[in-house]
Amino acid sequence: MKDGPLTEHYEPFESPAKNLINGGQSTPNLTFGSAKSVKPSDPKKYPIVCTTYRMTEHWQTGGMTRNIPWLAEAMPKMFVEMSLELAKEKGIANGDQVRVFNDRGDIEMMAMVTPRFKPFTIDGKTVHQVGMPWHWGYASGYATGAIANDLTPNVGDANSSIPEYKAYLVNVEKA
Amino acid sequence: MTESAILYDSSKCSACKGCQVQCKQWNMLPSSMVKDGYESTGSYQSMADLNGDTRLLIEFREKDTPAGVEWAFSRRACFHCTEPACMDVCPVGAISRLDDGTVKLDSSKCVGCKYCTAACPFSVPKYRENFGVSNKCTLCDDRVAKGIEPACVKTCPAAAIFYGPRTEMLTKGKARVAELKVAGFNKAELYGETQMGGMHSLFVAKFGFEAHGLIRDPKKPDIVTLMSIIKPLTGLGIAAIVGGLGISFLSSIGYTRDGLTEELETADEAAKEEK
């Protein structure tokens, strides 16, 4: 293990929280941490935690599945899920077109406002989280949409260089 | 023949929509091929409702409760009622009930009048624009005839849809409801045992009927009952009219109208004179 003999907790490269478990904030052995293209997001400017995930209807960036009408119809649109609390704060209604952005990118998609997302309370502060799938793109397919990886940081973990696409910082506004 | 039924267990369903897509594939039902031409519902649900090319739809309903978010999934398709309103109103007899309880819509007989859509308490049959007929779940009678389970049952990766003799499915469904109640889902219920005379698509509703969008006490619209009275009356009326015409024809054999022949002759002569 490159980051120590035992598993250790580190905060993601971009995090609104302080690592209370040990002295370090994020792992000192990030593989692409110093590359210029990373453009780390300032938690003050971008206070919302964003995560990416997959849907059952699509596979990877949808190069195959968005070209199958049955599957494209089953999950047709790129979206960002957010809590009712965040939506209220930003004046966003379900189905609205919204802009999700940080210093690396700026993408537009449909807002999906749902009680399944709940704000966290971290160190006494309310921290919101949004989530988006990354199956869309513009090149081909019957259903096209914004590219989630325009926002993700290109940092890799110390051992296998797996990109940290599951936790980074953004801001959200109504488009 | 024993009656068969589908049992859908919403507590096991992961809402992956495998059944929805598989239904379209087996039954050769297309999806739009217009780029970005799909509607969006603002949730994970693919479309707002069934349509002419979609016989099965997985629906998503969510409710925030103090015990956590209730995410209720529903398999929306034909329930194959024992007393199907659609069959009663079909003017051409395109909808029939098979021996195993399946309510089948024969598209070769359908004239596309949409009466079935209006009569169904669940508005399940949908008009298929480009074919000019109604369309709904056939419970894969073509597969069942060959001894294979329906396509949705076969494909379900979560083993949330079962198919078999209706009595067995009822027992299984009731047992699952009891299990769910023990696990703390007090509102769990089994849909389809008695509704519309008993359905051949049963539904284990994890959070209760209302949470899954099921109608607690579905009824045939009054007009359907009225139609079942009016239909034989209309039949009698038509028979009376045809009979009356027949009698009128028979009684008038050999009748000639007075003066008619003379008038024609006169007309002929007048024409000759003009020449």
Evaluate if residue B157 carries a pLDDT over 90: yes
Q: Are B241 and B247 in contact (CB under 8 A)?
A: no
Of residues B164, B165, B190, the one with CA closest to residue B177: B190
Q: Which domains does chain B have, with CATH numbers?
A: 4-220 (3.30.70.20), 223-274 (no CATH)
* Partners of residue B42 in chain A, C-beta under 8 Å: 94-95, 110, 112
* Partners of residue B46 in chain A, C-beta under 8 Å: 73-76
pLDDT digit string (tens) for B38-72? 988 999 999 999 999 999 999 999 999 998 899 99
pTM: 0.86
Q: Which residues contact A105 (CB under 8 A, 6 or more apart)?
A: A150, A151
Instruction: For chain A, say whether B66 makes contact (Cβ under 8 Å).
Output: no
Q: Which domains does chain A have, with CATH numbers?
A: 36-174 (2.40.40.20)
- To the nearest whole Å, the CA of A42 is away from the closest chain B CA by 31
How large is the ipTM?
0.89
Which pair of tokens denotes residue B245? 């015409």
Quick check: A110 and B42 CB within 8 A? yes
Split at pLDDT 50, 70, 90, the class of A8 is confident
Q: What's the CA gap between B168 and B7, in Å, rounded?
A: 10
Q: What is the pLDDT of residue B268?
A: 66
- To the nearest whole Å, the CA of B209 is away from the closest chain A CA by 21
- To the nearest whole Å, the CA of A132 is away from the closest chain B CA by 12
